[in-house]
């Protein structure tokens, strides 16, 4: 059974600071997604990572994937308040089923 773990579960940071969210998964997968969710809203797709060493960047967010370590990271550079949200990683199994991590609630304070 595929298991996905994120840490930290909660992150409070000052604007302008950098931080990294980690996502570990238990079995081999060929796809990993990062999503953003605002309170009471649905999931917004941020990145999909397909291969070992994949790196994608959008604005202040950068995601990377190490398939050998079964680890993905979401790095936040110079955080701003608008990035406050809950971030989920999700891994696809052989049956195209998405398994989500527990989420990281990010709060960026002025």
Q: Which residues bind another protein (CB under 8 A)?
A: 4, 31, 33, 35, 40-43, 45, 48, 50, 88, 90, 95-103
Q: In this complex, which beta carbon is closest to another protein, that of residue 17 or of residue 41?
A: 41
CB of 43 to another protein, least distance (A): 4
Using alpha carbons only, what angle is made at residue 85 by residues 82 and 88, rounded to the nearest 5 degrees? Answer: 135
Q: What is the DSSP letter of 40?
A: T
CB of 30 to another protein, least distance (A): 9
CB of 78 to another protein, least distance (A): 25
Distance separating alpha carbons of residues 66 and 34, to the nearest angstrom: 14
Among residues 56, 4, 55, which one has the least CA distance to residue 28?
4
Q: Is the separation of the CB atoms in 10 and 16 below 8 Å? A: no
Distance separating alpha carbons of residues 80 and 10, to the nearest angstrom: 16
Q: In this complex, which beta carbon is closest to another protein, that of residue 31 or of residue 60?
A: 31
CB of 81 to another protein, least distance (A): 22
Q: In this complex, which beta carbon is closest to another protein, that of residue 4 or of residue 74?
A: 4
């Amino acid at each position: 059974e595929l298991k996905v773990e994120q840490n930290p579960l909660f992150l409070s940071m000052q604007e302008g600071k950098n931080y990294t969210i980690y996502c570990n998964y238990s079995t081999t997968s060929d796809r990993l997604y990062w999503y953003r969710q605002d309170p009471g809203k649905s999931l917004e797709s941020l990145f999909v990572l397909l291969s070992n060493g994949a790196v994608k960047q959008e604005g202040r967010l950068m995601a990377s994937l190490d398939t050998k370590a079964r680890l993905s990271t979401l790095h936040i550079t110079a955080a701003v308040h608008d990035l406050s949200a809950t971030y989920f990683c999700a891994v696809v199994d052989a049956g195209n089923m998405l398994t989500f991590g527990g989420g990281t609630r990010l709060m960026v304070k002025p």
